[in-house]
């Protein structure tokens, strides 16, 4: 998948303008977090971890000038021995693999993937919360700065929240598979 295709797929999945995503891509490229190319048919290839970074950038609701710093911080949030960025990348890869599995299995996985989502909470107690389902009930993981305990019951401390639902994640996986063919 090319970077421009990825940007378009993320804009469509998140329901935002391509201009917003293009700005985020440029900011992340300036911070050497996304690959740069010479444009046109030489657009750089996008890897699943690039998609994860761009999703975190959009969900973080950070202003353009501080988005790279914010994404670096979010990607480094911890849960046990896991980091949010690599976990989101693995989640996206699993959804792509599930999408290409074919047949009845693909339909079952697609239905279950609707239970998945990614939410970025901002405020005094920030977190990246990921719900991931491949079969049965989804598992919820809360990634926080330094891996400290996340307390969602402290609602007053959550000042912003943005969620990408499972349907959008599944659509992003489907688009990724189509671009790879």
The number of beta carbons lying within 10 Å of the beta carbon of residue 91 is 22
Give alpha helix (H) positions in the chain.
3-14, 18-30, 48-60, 67-75, 84-100, 103-113, 166-180
pLDDT in tens, 140-167: 899 999 998 888 777 677 888 899 998 8
Residue ranges per domain, the chain?
3-180
pTM: 0.87
Classify residue 145 by its DSSP letter.
G
pLDDT in tens, 3-12: 888 999 999 9
At residue 157, the 3 state secondary structure works out as helix
């Amino acid at each position: 998948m090319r970077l421009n295709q990825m940007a378009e797929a993320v804009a469509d999945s998140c329901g935002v303008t391509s201009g917003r995503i293009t700005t985020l891509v440029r900011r992340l490229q300036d911070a050497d977090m996304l690959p740069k190319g010479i444009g046109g048919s030489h657009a750089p290839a996008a890897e699943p971890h690039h998609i994860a970074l761009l999703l975190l950038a959009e969900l973080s609701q950070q202003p353009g000038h501080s988005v790279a710093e914010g994404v670096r911080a979010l990607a480094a949030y911890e849960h046990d021995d896991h980091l949010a960025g690599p976990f989101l990348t693995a989640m996206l890869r699993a959804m792509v693999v599930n999408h290409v599995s074919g047949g009845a299995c693909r339909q079952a996985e697609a239905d279950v993937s609707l239970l998945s989502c990614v939410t970025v909470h901002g405020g005094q107690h920030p977190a990246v919360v990921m719900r991931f389902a491949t079969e049965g009930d989804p598992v919820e993981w809360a990634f926080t700065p330094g891996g400290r305990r996340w307390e969602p019951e402290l609602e007053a401390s959550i000042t912003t929240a943005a969620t990408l639902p499972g349907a959008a994640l599944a659509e992003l996986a489907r688009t990724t598979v189509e671009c790879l063919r």
